[in-house]
Amino acid sequence: MKGNARIRNSVSTKQSVTSPPSQALEFSKNIVDGLQDGALILDTSFQVIYSNGPFTQLISEKKKGFRKSQIYGKCIFDLFSHNPENDLKTAQKCLSSKKTIIAKEVPIKNPKGKEFHIIQTQIPILNHQNNNECVGIIAIFRNVTDEVKLQQRYRKLLAREKERADELEILVQQRTKQLTDALDDVVQLSRIDPLTGLLNRRAFKEKAEPLISVLKRHKRTGALIICDLDLFKNVNDQYGHQAGDVVLIESAKALRESVRSEDVLCRCGGEEFLLLLSETKEEFLFESAERCRKKIASMPINKLVPGKKDPQTISMGCALIPHHGTTIDALVKVADKALYEAKHQGRNKVIIAKT
């Protein structure tokens, strides 16, 4: 699915044994383009051969971004690294072990001298049908600057209040409570997708897992549905990312209005949503999913995105609980295959995994 990225422990392609490494690298571009974080594709010499839009925004303060000639064909660790030698060793380890490596948060400066805090993830690009040959690396740079600044702010405030504890003990206790409440608010905000207001994937998992356990314990049925907006990348490319954001917001609203309050809905990245239907019998699952699909298709797209005539549609893959599994990962795996089939059949469809 173009524009739909789900990062595993490695990135692979289903190509013939004779497929050249360049095809595996080309396949990885679809994954990189679907990420919200800045990301690069590096060859086995760790030279940049591709970058996504968020990476442009990360290292450039100009709207036009950087010229590809500034980084393409060059070793990224010589240009954009907190510790080039250490990052190079990590990349070499990623290639040799063929495993994903997540580094700790570090400060870093872009070519303009602006400092960011990032968490770097390196993912090997493997061709499983060609002796697991490692043909490159996806380097993801997650910008956590705002989180770090927020943490530093509260640490300073807490430290300042503790210094005055001896003479202002009562005042410190009151102030500390206020700060604790504020930190609780920050934690709560970290569970919400800022664009759509839906739960993020981590919060979805925390809320969905107990519900699945209840279904299993009482031998009741439910469903997990993966919903993916069709041809969403075309909206961004043709009408701009602002228009894409509007479509995401309205789609989230439409899905929320189409399900019950006890159902759990989240945006799990890009144009993809996860939906857990609790206490839903198998014979009513298709009807419930169809209600969501029709709600999306009926959105007044020409008003939301002026100039867009074709309706926005959504494809949905459904897995049954507990028949297809009783864990989020197992259910997602089954539902993802059903979603692939929905896309293969022409999109704008609901496919329930075979029982």
| Residues marked as catalytic | 271
**What b-and-e string marks burial along 118-127, b requiring 16 or more CB atoms within 10 Å of the CB?**
bbbbbbbbbb
Secondary structure (DSSP) of 267-305: EEETTEEEEEE-S--HHHHHHHHHHHHHHHHTS-HHHHS
d(CA 264, CA 251): 15
- Residue 279 burial (CB count, 10 A): 14
Q: Which of 229, 308, 309, 239 is nearest to 270 (CA)?
A: 229
Q: Which of 162, 124, 164, 117 is nearest to 142 (CA)?
A: 117
d(CA 121, CA 253): 32
Give the residue carrying structure tokens 């439409």.
254
Query: Is 22 in a helix, a strand, or coil?
Result: helix
Residues sharing a CB contact under 8 Å with residue 249, sequence separation 6 or more, in sequence order: 195, 196
Cβ atoms of 100 and 117 closer than 8 Å:
no
Residues sharing a CB contact under 8 Å with residue 38, sequence separation 6 or more, in sequence order: 51, 52, 54, 55, 56, 57, 58, 59, 140, 141, 142, 143
Q: What is the DSSP letter of 105?
A: P
Q: Which of 77, 80, 55 is nearest to 65 (CA)?
A: 55
Q: Where are the alpha helices (DSSP H) in the chain?
A: 21-33, 53-59, 68-71, 76-79, 84-97, 145-163, 169-189, 201-217, 232-239, 241-258, 282-297, 301-304, 328-344
Q: Which tokens sit at 201?
A: 């994937």
